[in-house]
Amino acid sequence: MIKITTLIEQIKGESHTLGIDIGSQAIKAVLTRHFADGRFEVEKAALVEMRKGVIREGQIASEEASKDPDGPLEGITPRQWVRRTLGDVFHRLGVAPQDVDLCVSPPWSGVLLIDHFQISEKNDPRLEAQKRPPFDGSDIVLDHQIIGHVVTEDNRKMNDVLFAAARDRVIHEWGTLFRESKSEPMAFDADIFAQFNAWTAVKEAEEALRRAEEEKANDPGKSKKKKKKGKEEPPAPAPEEKPEGEEGEKPAEGEAAAEGESAESLHKGAVAILSVGMQRVVVTFIVDGKFHSSREVTGASLTAFERTLARRANFPPEEDVDALLRDENLWPETELFRLAFRQASSDLGTGVQQAIQYFYSATANTNIDAVLLCGGGACIPGVAAMLGKKLHLPVEVFNPLETFPPTKLSAIGPNEAPLLATAFGLSTRRF
């Protein structure tokens, strides 16, 4: 049954979106309230750890992993662990899944296909994409977004179209699991698109703040007249039209979605969002406020970082490197550890360097202005500085919740906040 408060919100044109980012060791969630006039505010955030071994290589582990009652899963199936963790997320946020719109990013390792190319404005993007591999398969769910327009030298009008496709079985598996948890996602979205949306929301909020400060400086009297008593206005909204995921609202055939006009005014130049997760590292490139491309760093991950560190620092097998890295006070004060940490950071930086060089080779006269670090790697003290030296670029931790702090109590520590960049980006979508 629908709650009275939810019914009132719907009458007022308001809604809540819960962004859920499912990682290999935790589920991260951000609850955002959307107002009728397009504004939004983050209400709550949560991070619930999940047993190691539940997610393996981007997939829910098979039931064989739970056969040993003395093992880490304690005889409980991986699917049951995921449902239990989801239940803990809803409990911590104090929401019922049927009262919010869910936007979910499951682990996409090896099952998400992304590309963008130019197609004549006269042609149907989906039909054109289905003529090209890998989008010509029958076992995929295909979605697209028109992100811009190009006029060729021979004066032909072309659409610049971004395509995303996921294996149908993956969408079905996760959809079934959520339905077993008495919830129904409005959309499955890609983490790289969610991070782009998060960046866009932050830049728009910064621009709104800059304009407000300019207005106040230019006309202090006018600013005082506009000031009202009561609660402050929520931050500026993220754009409604965002790169789509694999399910949910689709653009009408031939309809041009957001073309990034507002985003272009927010940032001229290039930015790289570097997401360092347990199982993979992905670099997303944004050029002139528009999503440009993404590239997975081969062989790199937080797991690989920890293995290099453990091997070179001669840690015993029972050492919990993951827990040690989260707390700088636990780090051994030895030269061996410092050298091992430097080597692990250098290895990570080398892979990222190659991805950036590939970007440079595909773009003319484009320099990256900054690298924004998010994911588990952003929670390790010193990694951003080490990567900055390796890449010869400014590297900073990307934490959207600094710009959009939750309005209600959330048990999220400052070191955990960068883990929620994807969940925040998911929550900025409105359905």
Q: How many helices, marked H, and strands, marked E, lie in the chain?
A: 12, 15
pLDDT reported for residue 140: 80
pLDDT reported for residue 243: 47
Instruction: Please state the rounded mean pLDDT for residues 5-21.
Output: 79
Instruction: Please state the rounded mean pLDDT for residues 133-146.
Output: 76
pLDDT reported for residue 11: 66
166 half-sphere exposure, CB direction, 13 A CA radius:
23
Q: How confident is the model at residue 225 (pLDDT cuts 50, 70, 90)?
A: low
Q: Is 275 exposed, middle or buried (0-12, 13-18, 19+ CB in 10 A)?
A: buried
Q: Which amino acid is at 67?
A: K
pLDDT above 90 covers a percentage of the chain that reads 48
pLDDT (tens digit, 9 = 90+) per residue, 294-345?
A: 999 988 999 999 999 999 999 987 788 888 888 888 899 999 999 999 999 9
Q: Is 370 exposed, middle or buried (0-12, 13-18, 19+ CB in 10 A)?
A: middle
Instruction: Please state the rounded mean pLDDT for residues 104-116.
Output: 80
pLDDT (tens digit, 9 = 90+) per residue, 52-83?
A: 888 887 788 887 766 665 566 777 888 999 99
Token couple for 95: 């929401």
pLDDT reported for residue 21: 97
pLDDT (tens digit, 9 = 90+) per residue, 282-292?
A: 999 999 998 99
Q: What integer best gives the mean pLDDT of the chain?
A: 83
CATH topology of domain 267-398: Nucleotidyltransferase; domain 5 (3.30.420)
Instruction: Please state the rounded mean pLDDT for residues 204-210.
Output: 88
Instruction: Please state the rounded mean pLDDT for residues 255-260.
Output: 35
Q: What is the pTM of this model?
A: 0.83
